[in-house]
Structure 1
Amino acid sequence: MTRKRHGLAALAAAALLASACGNVIDAQNQAKSGSDHGGEGKLLRVAIFGGSWEKGIRQSVITPFEKETGIRVQAEIGTSTVTLGKLRQSPDAVDVALLDSGVSETARAEKLVATLPQDKIPALPELADRAKLRDREGIWALTMGYWALGLAYNSEKVKTPPTSWDDLWAPANAGKVAIPAPATTGGLPLALLAAGHAEAKGDTDLAPGLTKLRDLNAVSFFDSSGAASNLLQSGEAAVAAHYNSGAWPLADQGLPIKWVAPKEGALAADSRWHVTAKARNVEAAYKFLDFASRKQAQEGLVKTIYLAPANTTAVIPETVRGRMPYGPDGSLDDLLYVDWEMINKNKSKWTDAWTRTVPR
């Protein structure tokens, strides 16, 4: 090979190397900026829950959103507390975060989620007023749907179906009951209910409720919705203070599990969409929240994970009306709503009191 050809070969190799390095840098920049192959294909990182919730959210929200917008969604699966931990460690860990009530307020107090510009979410007027979480700076979260703590039971093992919270203490159910621990969404609200302060504001005395729970002959204090479902599925518990969204999927599997809203009212909770304070793909995040708040997406969540819709135009089919958190003939107004800021303020103190008082 002549010296000229050697020179041309060297130039070609250098060009290839430069191109390869450029591609690597472009790929790194794309990953850093949140873009996915450029153009309309933006990558949106969304934190959601697992299990039946993941299936329902993918089917009703994520897949049709991707199809309509061309934006690719990368789902990050985890509980509310796991997602909160990720955001505390890295505020830009995800663009959109799904968080339960209670955890949601904590994220806002720690400035981990952003105020939402109302003109970016056209579906906003269709949402119930209570589904738009506000503070002095504006709306900062949108409810995806409502669920509630009520009474789940095994219809083959429980001869008299429960209708009241008092039925947890019925002699026939002694040694067969499971209730949520204070680390769960329903734990401290249940203690407040037992103390007669389900909708209390400000500081309140939890001691009477803890004493009442101590006297409950419970077989288990569960730390997650999945754990409650496992207790019912295995037969270890025949009655549980459980969530409608966790109990009805067991019935879908053919198990003899039913759920009722107590006559005094079920304890309301909701799961909320947030745009994180350090989101990389903010515009796509707004589009996602708008899509998830629309009538079609909300109706899908009603049918898949039995959430009461936040969108006031959504229609609840008769086939699932009985599985709503307020029962077949109720509405959002029939639920009992707790003051999460008050609970969060007292959470450490009340959890310590629970630990000292309730377990045997």
Structure 2
Amino acid sequence: MNATRYLPLFLTMAFVGAPGLAVAESLVVNSYGGPYEAIIEERIIEPFEEKTGIDVVYDAVGSASQDYAKIKATQGQPGFDVVVMTASQSLQGCKDGLLEKLDAAVISNLGKLGPSLAAVAGPCGAVHEVQYMSLLYRTDKLPSPPTSWSSLLAPELKGKIILPTFQNIMAVFLMEIMSVARGGDMIDHIDPGFDAMAELARQSIGFEQSSAILESYIKDGTVWAMPFWNGRAQLLVDLGVPVDYVRPKEGTIPLIATLNVPVGARNKQAAMAFIDFFLEKSSQEAWVTSYKVGSARTDIDIPDNVRKRQITTEADLKSLKLPNLSHVAEKLSEWGERWERDVVSQAN
């Protein structure tokens, strides 16, 4: 690991060697901490540095929504060159003119992504992983696997569930799924979803934004069931925590994660090279098998036991529910205010 990687960002610099020598650069990549950080270091960043000679400074600060807020506040000059966000921020950033459009002539591996998944992220996002919202539960507390999202309202789970905050897109997805399950839809007729979330708030011990904090509650047995991204859920299974996860019968919504470049990034050429490397077949295979997520590449070779629980084909995506993310983005401000008024107020 390079000693400079965790120095303050203002100390990192690019430099150019003598004529005829390779150019050495610094690239600032903003993403998440916890298990994500350790895995991306080993599987993506270190191989990329070895191949290109580009030094990567890893900036594990902020959620996707917080990162985009920083991009917006700085007019596209947030201090990082590549950022991991979701398709929602990718679409919004393109619309706002704050993210670079990505060119398949420069990032050749963009052409290897499944077209329907690639289209979801818009022209400014490169889909590097796919997860879905699963129902995670303690196998030592619940004798039978839950089959429905409404299982979270079971009497035996009173005070044994926790919910994400509205700033975590998982809260929005859960509300949309609950809305559909109760006869509403995911955008225009969302009232049944708010009613369901108010009931869940009364059932829960509270709200947390960070995935790392959310998982701590189920790891120590305080919580017996909760919504959680399936990749992170599989990591807990692999650690030997007495948990498992399911896709409930009402269906679920995918989390489509993207790599993006702010318009004011200082090292755009290196940023494009990093994205292309992350999308390479071997890189995607390494990422899927290590972080336990799905891929937008359908040509990757991964073990069957990994593939069967991930999203790795266009058919897998069609089995999920995908709201119009642009329309969701337009509703978030209104929904956020209503969430505080109608959902958070119901928490114990």
* CA drift at 1:62: 1.1
Q: 1:36 to 1:340 in 2, by over 3 A?
A: farther
Q: Is 1:51 the counterpart of 2:34 in the alignment?
A: yes
Q: Which residue type is aligned with residue 265 of structure 1?
A: G
Alignment correspondent of 2:160: 176
Alignment correspondent of 1:35: 15
Q: Is 1:142 the counterpart of 2:126 in the alignment?
A: yes
* CA drift at 1:178: 2.2
Alignment correspondent of 1:310: 296
Alignment correspondent of 2:7: none
TM-score for both structures, normalised by structure 2: 0.85
Structure label with greater radius of gyration: 1
Q: Which residue type is aligned with residue 193 of structure 1?
A: I
* Contact persistence 2:232–2:292 (CA under 8 A): no
* Contact persistence 2:179–2:190 (CA under 8 A): yes
* Correspondence list, 1:104-123, <5 A: 104-123=90-109
- Alignment deviations for residues 188-223 of structure 1 (CA, whole Å, 9 cap, x no partner): 22112211189957x513222111222232233332
Alignment correspondent of 1:21: none
Q: Gapped runs of 5+ residues in structure 1?
A: 1-29
Aligned residue-pair number? 326
- Alignment deviations for residues 108-137 of structure 1 (CA, whole Å, 9 cap, x no partner): 2332211112211121221111332479xx
Alignment correspondent of 1:228: 214
Aligned with residue 351 of structure 1, among 333, 336, 345: 336
Alignment correspondent of 1:26: none
- Measure the CA separation in 1 of the matches of 2:96 and 2:175: 26
Counterpart of 1:195 in 2: which secondary structure? helix
- Measure the CA separation in 2 of the matches of 1:89 and 1:345: 18
Counterpart of 1:314 in 2: which secondary structure? coil
* Contact persistence 1:116–1:141 (CA under 8 A): yes
* Contact persistence 2:87–2:125 (CA under 8 A): no
Q: 1:114 to 1:235 in 2, by over 3 A?
A: same
- Measure the CA separation in 2 of the matches of 1:287 and 1:261: 36
Q: Is 1:288 the counterpart of 2:278 in the alignment?
A: no
- Measure the CA separation in 2 of the matches of 1:60 and 1:218: 37
- Measure the CA separation in 1 of the matches of 2:33 and 2:99: 21
* Contact persistence 2:72–2:98 (CA under 8 A): yes
Q: Which moved more, 1:97-106 or 1:286-295?
A: 97-106
- Measure the CA separation in 2 of the matches of 1:265 and 1:46: 33
Q: Which residue type is aligned with residue 219 of structure 1?
A: I
Aligned with residue 97 of structure 1, among 75, 83, 86: 83
* Correspondence list, 1:1-360, <5 A: 34-35=14-15, 39-78=22-61, 79-90=63-74, 91-92=76-77, 93-133=79-119, 139-196=123-180, 203-216=187-200, 217-324=203-310, 331-359=316-344, 360=346
Counterpart of 1:159 in 2: which secondary structure? coil
Q: Gapped runs of 5+ residues in structure 2?
A: 1-9
TM-score for both structures, normalised by structure 1: 0.82
* CA drift at 1:322: 4.6
Counterpart of 1:258 in 2: which secondary structure? strand
- Measure the CA separation in 1 of the matches of 2:283 and 2:291: 12
Counterpart of 1:262 in 2: which secondary structure? coil
Q: Which moved more, 1:192-201 or 1:94-103?
A: 192-201
* CA drift at 1:291: 0.8
- Alignment deviations for residues 76-117 of structure 1 (CA, whole Å, 9 cap, x no partner): 112223322432344331111111232333332332211112
- Measure the CA separation in 1 of the matches of 2:173 and 2:250: 14
Q: Which residue type is aligned with residue 61 of structure 1?
A: I
* Contact persistence 2:184–2:191 (CA under 8 A): no
* Contact persistence 1:61–1:297 (CA under 8 A): yes
